[in-house]
Amino acid sequence: MPRISAGILMYRHGDTGIEVLLVHPGGPFWRNRDLGAWSIPKGEFLEGENPEAVARREFAEELGVELTGPLQPLGQLRQRGGKTVIGYAAKGALDVANVRSNQVPIEWPPRTGRIIHIPEIDRAEWFDLPLARKKILASQQPFLDRLENLGHEL
């Protein structure tokens, strides 16, 4: 079965226009990577699960905050590694200083059998759209374009 994720691109209106909330993956592999490493909060789901419910669950797991407001569909895209991501937009004003990510086990170093626990994300930040386009994974950039195209509905 192909890997499918669902996630939420939170946005707000800032001094320079639309700002979006992106998360940086935790762990040693991503520690020194910045440009092109950030993502929307998202997670995989199984066939039969509701993508919107999964997006809300993953947002809560990665950021420690339940999201109850309405979501606007941003469609889906295929990441370079083959994973399909279904995206939603939500207006919000999350205080990134209070983010609390869940922990996940990973094998580190790779192929050693040694398991360590890391935060799924190590930080979250608000970015204006021009900077977000540089920070986000290239395969997720279309979500920023789609959000911007919703401008009159935001």
How many structural domains does the chain have? 1
| Token representation of residue 61 | 């797991």
State the CATH number of the domain containing residue 123.
Answer: 3.90.79.10
**Cα separation of 17 and 12, whole Å?**
8
Q: Is the pTM of this model over 0.85?
A: yes
Expressed as residue numbers, the domain containing 100 is 4-153
pLDDT tens digits in sequence order for the chain, 154 residues long: 578 999 999 999 988 899 999 999 998 888 889 999 999 999 998 888 999 999 999 999 999 999 989 999 999 999 988 899 999 999 999 999 989 898 999 999 999 999 999 999 999 999 999 999 999 999 999 999 999 998 756 6
Q: Parallel, antiparallel, or unpaired for β 17-25 and 42-44?
A: unpaired
- Spell 40-69 as b/e; 16+ CB within 10 A means b: bbbbebeeeeebeebbbbbbebbbebebee
116 strand-pairing partners:
106
